[in-house]
Amino acid sequence: MTVDFTMQIAQVVSCTEAEGPGKRFALWFQGCPLRCPGCCNPEFLAFKGGTTKTLRETVEWIQKARDESGIEGITLLGGEPTAHATAAISLAKAARELGLSVMTFTGFTLEELQEKGEPDVAELIGLTDILVDGPYVREQPDTERRWIGSRNQRIHFLTPRYSLDEQWRQRNTLEIRVVGGEVSVNGFPAANAVGLWKGWKRKKSVPLPVVAETKSAAQGADTK
């Protein structure tokens, strides 16, 4: 890696099974140009905020998760990953060099992204194994496809690495962690779990890479 730069990160869970197949490093970018009614993470929408991390330290964080937790891939969420394409591309490239897969959630449809004709967005798509597209529609919660927020959203398997196998048919997954008295929640929030996190205060900072697991007290970090 020759060029380092910074990115704005809303949240990281260094090893999760609630954001795609297998164990994954999940990273939520800070900032989204869309405004889906019912978005679970309104704090992630503004482009100002979050925590600034360099590419180098974020890649080291991913490598640490691979070596210590045996993650099989990274998942990029938001915020909106395509609005952070330069950072997302670099993370996707680094993940591939580490032998990891890449899953990307976007609030745009694949067609909308293609019509944009933006080379960096196209490059990100080209580095993605699984793309989940489309805005989150609150009125259409998806309880059939694990990891998917609403029924309008589509799963694009862009490489042969994954397919719509049995693990996608399981119920949505919600993870709750308590680390040092702080609580983090991620995964698609089942309706009956909403009350579990809405009363909890979100901690603003992103945990440092040296910390074994996120200590962020989240409100259900899913913007799917």
Q: Which residues bind ligand SF4 (CB under 6 A)?
A: 32, 34-36, 39, 41, 44-45, 78-80, 107, 135-136, 223
Query: Which residue, 114 or 167, has its beta carbon nearer to ligand SF4?
Result: 114
For ligand SF4, which is the closer residue by CB, 66 or 146? 146
- What is the DSSP code string of 22-90? SSEEEEEES--S---TT-S-GGGTSSS-SEEEEHHHHHHHHHHHHHHH---EEEEESS-GGGGHHHHHH
Q: Least distance (Å) from ligand SF4 to the CB of residue 32?
A: 3
Residue nearest to ligand SF4 (CB): 107
Three-state SS at 5: coil
Chain centroid offset of residue 40 CA: 13
Amino acid at 157: F
Beta carbon of residue 71, minimum distance to ligand SF4 (angstroms, whole number): 23
Q: Which CB atom, from 17 or from 133, has the smaller least distance to ligand SF4? A: 133
CB of 221: closest distance to ligand SF4 in angstroms?
Answer: 10
Q: Specify the residue, 34 or 211, whose C-beta has the smaller distance to ligand SF4.
A: 34
Compute φ and ψ for 82, nearest 5 degrees.
-70, -15
User: How many Å apart are CA 50 and CA 121, to the nearest integer?
Assistant: 22
Shortest distance (Å) from residue 78 CB to ligand SF4:
5
